[in-house]
Structure 1
């Protein structure tokens, strides 16, 4: 069984306590995909935020957790962390071929060769930030995210999807083409990730957004663009966004039919 903490598209976490209970009841391993929230969730309480649910090994059914160090751990890409509740689970990921002509071949990961440089850079990054550093970045990011969410909900035509608890805000619109908004925001220098089913976009708040006036400028621009589209709807979508706007629905239908 697998649960997200949170998922990438909408920034919403699954009910991990219920999933954990199912795993414990039926003796099924439970994996928590904490790749996005792995360096936010552990520091939420110390940063002064209340937690609705637990996500870690305090849940009796959780047997493994993954978290990406290159996201909010601020380490270089190419590193990540996989944690097991029991050492015996770790041994199931090992590969060993004792009969190879080159001798015994064994690897603890899918990749047989890894650069130690990424590992060293990851370690150095984590030592630099430390627990206090991650608590501080968590507070800044979550405070900024919640401010942006509150302001987005007040903009006519924009509908925030669900109740995100961390750093990702997904939103759509019933009054205008949300991809047109993304296209216009791109011209203003803002990068929004496009989503489908339903058509939407999301903002992943990072430390860059916590800098002085950045969030305010983003909100000012998106309010202007949303107002323009409400008053004068325009379905024009340019560049690669047009692929998502027009090709994705067709491709989905083809795949479903197949």
Structure 2
């Protein structure tokens, strides 16, 4: 991260790759800001590198958050297996796949993209079978729950759910920016709102987050990583259960908490004046 850049870009990738690079990782929905990295630009760069230098460098896309969102709200955006250098993608079903923790998916474009070194064979179930997962007992309930959602909701159902999440996210984001207290840090490509104070008050985002807990809200507040660690942001992830009414309530509580802290800090900043000595009446 840099002051004016919160995710990787093709230029920074070019500066870091060489003949020892085994993969480039790109994130769709970064942890800190919810931004989507320019996978197509990175892919086009790596295609040129392949043609000019003979280096076939694959891309792994971490789409833990965006993998169940972008195909439904922005299907034209190319970040997936339509790009030749994208060879593997991981997605979290327990995020916007609408399933409880913990289920996730690691998908390879082709079986040849899965290195043989990662595969081992087991025969304790009566037959020899290949596997590249961690080998321990685990319930399959979440896999069945994901399968149920895929069948039950289908493409149209997921599209409706994700569009509703985006509508509510845009609504709340507009309320935040219209308040003239906050400003957005991201471009709202996903229903993830990252914001900060527009002007620096006499209290911190951490104090605002703590104040909101009194109303039952858990608002993450944190510093961004190195090079931008002097910036503190707050984040709201708009899930399918976050309704328009809930957005209104959250916004009202947020502004109220801000006002209370603002007034409290003003009182603390007042000069200490000794009270006048008066008569005691008994």
Shorter-normalised TM range: 0.7 to 0.9
How far off is 1:104 after superposition? Answer: 6.9
CA offsets 1:144-182 (integer angstroms, 9 cap, x no match): 001111111122332321322111111222223101111
- How far, CA to CA, are the matches of 1:60 and 1:106 in structure 2? 27
Residues 82-93 of structure 1 mapped to structure 2, 5 A cutoff? 82-92=106-116
Q: Measure the CA separation in 1 of the matches of 2:184 and 2:258.
A: 13
Structure-2 separation of matches of 1:233 and 1:85: 56
State the partner residue of 1:196.
Answer: 223
Residues in 2 aligned to 1:221 and 1:231: alpha-carbon distance in whole angstroms? 15
Q: Does 1:228 align with 2:260?
A: yes
Which residue of structure 2 aligns with residue 116 of structure 1? 140
Query: Where in structure 2 are the equivalents of 1:128-143 lying within 5 Å?
Result: 128-143=152-167
- What is the total number of aligned residue pairs between the two structures? 227
Name the counterpart of 2:28.
5
Give the match for residue 71 of structure 1.
Answer: 95
User: Gaps (5+ residues) in structure 2?
Assistant: 1-23, 50-54, 225-230, 267-282
Gaps of 5+ in 1: 235-258
Distance 2:64 2:117 in 1: 19
Contact 1:94–1:106 (CA under 8 A) maintained in structure 2: no
Q: TM-score, with normalisation over the residues of structure 2?
A: 0.72
Larger Rg: 2
**Over residues 187-238 of structure 1, what are the superposed CA-to-partner deviations in whole Å (9 max), with x where a residue is unaligned?**
111121232233222111111212x51111111111222233344438xxxx
The Cα shift of 1:55 comes to 1.5
Residue 238 of structure 2 is aligned to residue 209 of structure 1: no
Distance in 2, Cα, partners of 1:156 & 1:225: 15
CA deviation string 1:223-258 (max 9, x = no partner): 222233344438xxxxxxxxxxxxxxxxxxxxxxxx
- Equivalences for 1:89-108 in 2 at 5 Å? 89-92=113-116, 94-96=118-120, 107-108=131-132
Question: 1-side partners of 2:240 and 2:264: how far apart?
Answer: 34
Cα distance in structure 2, aligned partners of 1:136 and 1:93:
41
RMSD: 2.7
> Is the 8 Å Cα contact of residues 75 and 126 (structure 1) preserved in structure 2?
no
The alpha-carbon distance between structure 1 residues 28 and 184, as it changes in their structure 2 partners (threshold 3 A), is same
Asked whether the equivalents of residues 93 and 109 of structure 1 are also in contact (C-alpha less than 8 Å), the reply is no
Q: Equivalents in 1 of 2:92, 2:34: separation in Å?
A: 15
Alignment deviations for residues 113-168 of structure 1 (CA, whole Å, 9 cap, x no partner):
43333322221222222111101101100000011111111223323213221111
Deviations 1:10-44 (A, max 9, x none): 11111111221233324111011110011110001
Which residue does the alignment assign to 1:27? 56
Provide the rounded CA distance (Å) in 2 between the counterparts of 1:92 and 1:205. 40
In the TM superposition, residue 90 of structure 1 has moved relative to its aligned partner by 2.9
| Residue of 179, 199, 210 corresponding to 1:183 | 210
